[in-house]
Amino acid sequence: MEMIKDNNQKRELLNEKNKKLYEDILVYVRLSYNKSEQETEEILMELLDHLLSLQKEDRDASELFGDNPRSYADEIIGELPKTVTRKSLCLFGMGVCYFFATFTFFQGFLTTLLSYIFDHIQTSRTYALGTVFVNSFSSVVIAALVVYGMIRYLRWSCFNTWSKAFEVIFTGVLFGIIPFGLFIALFYFMPAFGVVINLDVYWLMPIGIILFLIGQWLRKRA
């Protein structure tokens, strides 16, 4: 999008203090994912032009954003029209395809590789389709909640200065250890049910490639 490129170039003209403040507002507003992208970028560009004018006149950014930049950003977001675009749907589908493509391909690749190294490893697996469906759907829900949580966290962290050590530990536990534990529990405790099929694990690699290509197609459509 041309407007985003222009915004990136103009931001370099801001001094350090104004740039930090503006980029917090930019991230906060852009992460309102259900808003019109065109109108979002237009209002961000307008804010940037106003801020550059204030800076040129040696005036403080508080004249534009007030004493509470977060509240100012919330007002902007409230005025933007809500929209669920084809791009949003395509990006969601792309993420789902990439997620399963990675998991499926590497499961097939590693199992096939290990079967050549260690002869006792079986090259075929039995899958209960009901269990596969529930686990797949639950995995998408968990992944979507992780992404949503990360977006909410990034918005929450704007306009704040946190200890890097605290941030690394907090985000690692919240978006790493907990979701990983849920995935493990899901696949370990879910009972097998539904139609059972037997599949050679090397077939998981072409399935993963097909899912990746679908994800690529959705990315181009976005």
Q: What's the pLDDT score for residue 143?
A: 86
Do residues 48 and 150 share a domain?
no
Find all residues with CB under 8 Å of 115, minimum gap 6, and list them.
Answer: 121, 122, 123, 201
Q: End of a domain among 36, 63, 79?
A: 79
**pLDDT score, position 6:** 85
Per-residue pLDDT, 222: 65
Q: Please give the model's pTM, rounded to 2 decimal places.
A: 0.71
Give the residue numbers spanning the domain of 149: 86-221
On whether both 93 and 197 belong to a single domain, the answer is yes
Average pLDDT over residues 103-127: 81
Domain end, chosen from 79, 104, 124, is at 79
- 75 plus 92 within the same structural domain: no
Q: What is the pLDDT of residues 103-112, one digit of tens each?
A: 899 988 888 8
For residues 20 and 11, give the distance between their C-alpha atoms in angstroms, rounded to a whole number. 10
- The encoded tokens of residue 47 equal 């804010």
117 pLDDT higher than 80? no
Distance CA 211, CA 106 (A): 13
- pLDDT > 70? residue 130: yes
Residues 28 and 134 in one domain: no
Number of domains composing the chain: 2
Nearest to 138 by CA among 64, 80, 83, 189: 189
Q: Fill in the amino acid letter for 36.
A: S
Instruction: Specify whether 180 is located in the same domain as 102.
Output: yes
Question: By the 8 A CB rule, do 139 and 183 touch?
Answer: yes
The pLDDT value recorded for residue 164 is: 64
Query: Of 79, 105, 139, which residue is a domain's last?
Result: 79
Least-confidence region, from 30-34, 60-64, 107-111, 206-210: 30-34
